[in-house]
Amino acid sequence: MRRPSSKARAEAIPAPAAESELDLAALGRALWARKFRILAVTFAAGVLSFLAVNMITPRYKSEARVLIENRETPYNQAQGERNMERDRTLLDAEAVQSQVQLALSRDLARGIIRDLKFAERPEFNPNAGGSLLDGLLGLAGMSRARAPMSDEDKILERYFERLNVYQVDKSRVISIEFQSQDAEFAARVANAVAEGYIKLQQQAKQDAIRQAGQWLAGEIERLRTRVAEAESKVEEFRVKSNLYVGPNNNSLSAQSLGELNTQLASARTKKADAETKARIIRDILKSGRPVETSEVLNSDLIRRLNEQRVTLRAQLAEQSSTLLDQHPRIKELRAQIADLEAQTRIAADKMARGYENDARIAAAQADAILVALDQQKKMSGSLNSQDVQLRALERDAKSQRDLLETYLSRYRDTVARETPDAVQADARIISRAIPSTKVHFPKKLPIVFIVTFGVLVAMTGFLAASQLLRGEVYRPVETVPALAEDEAPIAPAMPRTAQQNYAESPRAGPLTAQVRAMGRGVVVVTRTASEPSSELALDLARELSEGGAHSVFVDLDAETAVSRKAGAQSGIGDLLLGKVSFGEAIERDPKSRAHILGAGRITPDIAAILSADRFSIVLGALAQSYDHIVIAAPNLIGYSSASRLARFTRGTVVVTLEGNSDAGIAAAETLRGMGFPNIAVVAVAPEPDPKVAPEVAAA
């Protein structure tokens, strides 16, 4: 796009010199020309490896497997032992690894070596006849023999080289592998290790049980003496203090107190009962009502009087049907009935007096019992201190007796489990080793293939590296020529200020279109002296965000610090020093959708920023998150570390003042030599004048 302008356009920047790149086709041709050399060396390596593996005596491997588990039953386990807790301790990962180390015991190894006569086998005893491989290594000065060792140590070393014991992944199974030139012997050794491991466990358990029995026997003898002494002290103190024991192991004083309390409660109950009955009868007599309480009705006298009264009332009723009220017979019957009622009330009154007498007797008994109880309490109080001492002696005797009984029970259990048949190892063989018909070492075909392929790759890499070092496989790179002067894109006039008119400002309009056409990447906006490059970079980031793209403005120009005017606080300096995180350092631009990574509260110089270890990490993270990264930088000429920034840069803008385009073009040439690509020179008016257009020269 071209715009007319009254100002002279900046001169175009010349294209850089031609570069070179790797020519893969030329490298392939060079390797193909040397194919016979590569194949000859590869074939020789294959033949030598084949001969070597055929000279090695084959070895066979046999495997036995042992399962770790608690094999004790309720009939042969220790008395009172908690199986769940013991299983948890026995079967955890650390315990299984400990069992692996037990199978690798040197004591077990010596027994197996002696029983299976390892010393008579040349593959384990060098003095019985060395192997061909050892002879060849000895001739070449590469013998595996080290410091002088005894025959037993040499056999042990060979034994452990061939033995492999490990825990099967995610299980409680131990695998025991052994390698030997004799397949049958390898199986015998693997089975012998498994059986010897189980015998070691049984022997360890028997030793522990035997030691426990001996210790318990000694403790039981001492406890018997102490129990006898404690019980004799209890009896002597009881006789001395007159603290005899009655039924239910209660002292006589306590028993007497209990009986007196019972008698006192009974007397008080009788008194209350008699007083209640007498009061009820008195109340009935005073009210004139018939006496019909159960106590009165149950009296024989009153029962007979009531029967006579009923008979007379029946006769009165019978005679009243034929005789008048004033008849002598009627009067006689009524008089007899009245007399019977009076006798009944007199009898009830006698019963009330009897109950009152019973109440007084019960009260007297209660008073007498209370006096006796007080006397017994005083007597018991004098015996309390002695009773406390007696109970202390009894507790001590009881604890000693309980401990003795516990030890006796444990001792009987221990003696019963001392026999070898009663002790079970915490493991059992689940798979015995059998002679293998398959050679374990050497794996001839894999070894020959790996050696041959490795030599082929190494030879190819060596020849390729030699060609690269000679520089014979590179080709020149065609560079894109720079735009001619009449083809240079021109940006509209760019006044230095007028930040408040950003929405209508044409400061970066054409430049924005060029950056969008360039695609995603980093754009560096720099200056030659004191030009307003940071303002241009901020406007460019803002306009790029209007099209829906994600853009961020990075302020590396600490001299102008435009980001602070836009409201940014934290920034690149704080982020590089690790004072803040990305989320805290990047802020939202209040005037657009762009983000701002400001200069920060801590503002190191541009050299420190460019050489910081985390600078490349920060740029890489921004490139992953944003479409456009617009960086405002001061004059970068003279900073060797600026090449780190150039590797991330996709486009470069050099800002200069109108009338000073030569300085801008010279700066662009220098930056191109430093590795900055796609450089454009933008000339801006020295004074705010919207009619004056900047001139852009693109390289």
User: What are the pLDDT digits (tens) for 69-104?
Assistant: 887 765 556 655 555 555 565 667 788 888 899 999
User: What's the chain's average pLDDT?
Assistant: 76
State phi, psi for 151 to the nearest 5 degrees. Answer: -60, -40
Residues 6+ apart with CB under 8 A from 249: none
**Which residue has better confidence, 556 or 19?**
556
CATH of domain 485-698: 3.40.50.300
Kindly state the greatest CA–CA separation across the chain: 172
Quote the pLDDT of residue 483: 36
Q: Per mean pLDDT, which range of 249-258, 484-493, 613-622 is the poorest? A: 484-493
**Which residue has better confidence, 70 or 132?**
70
C-alpha neighbours within 13 Å on the C-beta side of residue 29: 7
Quote the pLDDT of residue 279: 82
Q: Are strands 551-555 and 595-597 parallel, antiparallel or unpaired?
A: parallel
DSSP state for residue 399 in the 8-state scheme: H
Locus of tokens 């491997």 = 61
| Per-residue pLDDT band at 481 (split at 50, 70, 90) | very low
Average pLDDT over residues 281-301: 70
Quote the pLDDT of residue 690: 42
pLDDT at 485 over 50: no
Tokens standing for residue 598: 């400001």
Average pLDDT over residues 549-570: 80
Q: Are strands 521-527 and 173-180 parallel, antiparallel or unpaired?
A: unpaired
| Per-residue pLDDT band at 308 (split at 50, 70, 90) | confident
Average pLDDT over residues 609-619: 83
Locus of tokens 């990574």 = 597
| Per-residue pLDDT band at 380 (split at 50, 70, 90) | low
Number of C-beta neighbours around residue 322 at 10 A? 9
Quote the pLDDT of residue 357: 86
> What is the Cα–Cα distance from 605 to 73, expressed in whole angstroms?
80
Smallest Cα–Cα separation from 502: which of 534, 532, 542, 552? 542
> What is the Cα–Cα distance from 96 to 82, expressed in whole angstroms?
20
Average pLDDT over residues 558-563: 75
Q: Is 467 left (phi over 0), alpha (psi -120 to 50) or beta?
A: alpha
| Per-residue pLDDT band at 490 (split at 50, 70, 90) | very low
State phi, psi for 654 to the nearest 5 degrees. Answer: -105, 120
Rg of the chain taking only CA atoms, in angstroms = 58
> What is the Cα–Cα distance from 42 to 51, expressed in whole angstroms?
14
Residues 6+ apart with CB under 8 A from 651: 514, 515, 518, 521, 522, 523, 524, 677, 678, 679, 680
| Contact between residue 24 and residue 151 where contact means Cβ atoms under 8 Å apart | no
**Terminal C-alpha separation, the chain:** 15
| Contact between residue 314 and residue 320 where contact means Cβ atoms under 8 Å apart | no
Quote the pLDDT of residue 234: 85
**Which residue has better confidence, 673 or 253?**
673
Quote the pLDDT of residue 91: 67
Quote the pLDDT of residue 176: 94
Average pLDDT over residues 540-558: 85
Quote the pLDDT of residue 416: 74
Quote the pLDDT of residue 64: 94
Q: What burial letters (b/e) apply to 362-383, b meaning 16+ CB within 10 Å?
A: bbebbeebeeebeebeeebeeb
| Per-residue pLDDT band at 496 (split at 50, 70, 90) | very low
Average pLDDT over residues 496-505: 31
Number of H helices, E strands in the chain: 22, 15
Quote the pLDDT of residue 136: 53
Percent of the chain with pLDDT strictly greater than 90: 12
Quote the pLDDT of residue 570: 78
Strand (E) or helix (H) holding 650? strand 649-657
| Contact between residue 246 and residue 252 where contact means Cβ atoms under 8 Å apart | yes
pLDDT at 236 over 80: yes
> What is the Cα–Cα distance from 10 to 5, expressed in whole angstroms?
12
Beta bridge partners of 656: 683
pLDDT at 194 over 70: yes
Quote the pLDDT of residue 686: 67
Q: What burial letters (b/e) apply to 330-350, b meaning 16+ CB within 10 Å?
A: beebeebbeebeebbbebbee
| Per-residue pLDDT band at 352 (split at 50, 70, 90) | confident
> What is the Cα–Cα distance from 29 to 467, expressed in whole angstroms?
11
pLDDT at 27 over 70: yes
pLDDT at 2 over 50: no
Q: Which fold has domain 60-198+423-441?
A: Bacterial polysaccharide co-polymerase-like (3.30.1890)
**Which residue has better confidence, 507 or 292?**
292
Average pLDDT over residues 12-24: 46
The sign of the CA dihedral 309, 311, 313, 319 is negative
pLDDT at 696 over 50: no
Quote the pLDDT of residue 365: 85
Of the ranges 27-36, 384-393, 453-462, which is most confident? 453-462
Quote the pLDDT of residue 291: 65
> What is the Cα–Cα distance from 151 to 110, expressed in whole angstroms?
12
| Contact between residue 85 and residue 217 where contact means Cβ atoms under 8 Å apart | no
Quote the pLDDT of residue 78: 61
* Secondary structure class of 527 (helix, strand, coil): strand
pTM here is: 0.43
Q: What burial letters (b/e) apply to 465-495, b meaning 16+ CB within 10 Å?
A: eebeeeeebbeeeeeeebbeeeebbbbbbbb
Smallest Cα–Cα separation from 645: which of 623, 666, 626? 623
Q: Are strands 628-632 and 551-555 parallel, antiparallel or unpaired?
A: parallel
pLDDT at 13 over 70: no
| Per-residue pLDDT band at 457 (split at 50, 70, 90) | very high
pLDDT at 605 over 60: yes
* Secondary structure class of 337 (helix, strand, coil): helix
Quote the pLDDT of residue 196: 92
> What is the Cα–Cα distance from 540 to 505, expressed in whole angstroms?
11
| Per-residue pLDDT band at 110 (split at 50, 70, 90) | very high
**Neighbour-count burial of 548, counting CB atoms closer than 10 A to its CB (0-12 exposed, 13-18 middle, 19+ buried):** exposed
> What is the Cα–Cα distance from 656 to 653, expressed in whole angstroms?
10
DSSP state for residue 150 in the 8-state scheme: -
Quote the pLDDT of residue 678: 86
> What is the Cα–Cα distance from 302 to 310, expressed in whole angstroms?
12
Q: Are strands 595-597 and 587-588 parallel, antiparallel or unpaired?
A: antiparallel
Tokens standing for residue 180: 């030997």
pLDDT at 137 over 80: no
